[in-house]
Amino acid sequence: MSAASRPLGVSVMPLETRREAILHIATTADRLGYEAFFLPETWAHDTTVMLAEVARRTQRIRFGSGILGVWGRSAATLAMAASTLDAMSSGRFILGLGASTQQLAEGLHDVPWDAPVKQIRKVATQVRALLKGERIPLAGSTGARPLRLNLPPAPNLPICLAGLADETVRLAGELADGWLPFLYPRDHLATGVALMKEGASRTSDPDRLPLIYPTVPTVVAGNPADARQGAAWFLAFYLTTMGPLYARTLGRGGFEKEVKAIVAANPTRDSAVVPPEAETLLEQLTIFGTPEQCRARLEPWYEAGAALPVLFLRPNLTPQEIDFTLGAFR
């Protein structure tokens, strides 16, 4: 089966805050037959409100949060939003949860970044119980009567967990329906599967594994050099301006030399350089090139175990560039 006929998702980089551009991506993906649209939440729009508009403007495509942090909302608020979005879209919603970043938790939500794996476990467990129609398993209150949602249960609503650290990936294997890795090397997805199997072994159904939905920075252009430059911008931005998480994770994964080369080559915020000695990271983390080259670079993601690769688009694309990019794969 060719990549063009396999399930494929699309998402958008958080710096894209133009409401009409986000909706254009979602509606175009729906029209072209994409399987899913994911929208992250950082420091701009309320993602649940935006996804309600996506639900109204689309007909077939599944859509989800990619991701909502576990610090900015209570588990009950997350469950209410998920249940509402699922009901208004006739069962098309996917709830993506994750720890987000320390900077967002503390610098925006004013919540201490404390034991993120424990927080993800608590929130995911509580959300799952509420969606099943059960009373919330309280973890912080003393003496309160646990409540349930006054809504029809949605026990089949998928919950996906983002995560790069080993214990978070194990947690996805234990609790989630899907795993949403970002900047996780393509050839290391097998390592992620092994970690999820360890997590699944903690459950009563050790053979059930989450589906893998890797989010992959993607740049399509008529000129291969322009596409490579766009992909280089992605890596330079995330490795030099988004805190130590991605650089640390990739370094632990055997790419310390390449990470250091990229950091050294980008001394300013506006630079976007991936030197030749770090080329392997472009191949392992991104999809770039002409439409034909991008289709060829997508195929190995399926071969590596991805059930639904999620194309991660640059901000500030024109409507024509959005159509060109999405049309390259469909």
Number of H helices, E strands in the chain: 13, 11
Rg (CA), the chain: 19
Whether residue 104 contacts residue 55, with contact meaning beta carbons closer than 8 Å, is answered with no
The answer to whether the bond into 25 is cis (omega within 30° of 0) is: no
Rounded-to-10 torsion of CA 142, 147, 153, 158 = -30
pLDDT (tens digit per residue) in 287-298? 999 999 999 999
At 5, the pLDDT band (50, 70, 90 cuts) reads confident
Mean of the per-residue pLDDT values of the chain: 96
Confidence at residue 2, expressed as pLDDT on a 0 to 100 scale: 61
pLDDT (tens digit per residue) in 88-139? 999 999 999 999 999 999 999 999 999 999 999 999 999 999 999 999 999 9
| Backbone angles phi and psi of 183, in degrees to 5 | 55, 45
Whether 3 shows a pLDDT value over 70: the answer reads no
Whether 240 shows a pLDDT value over 80: the answer reads yes
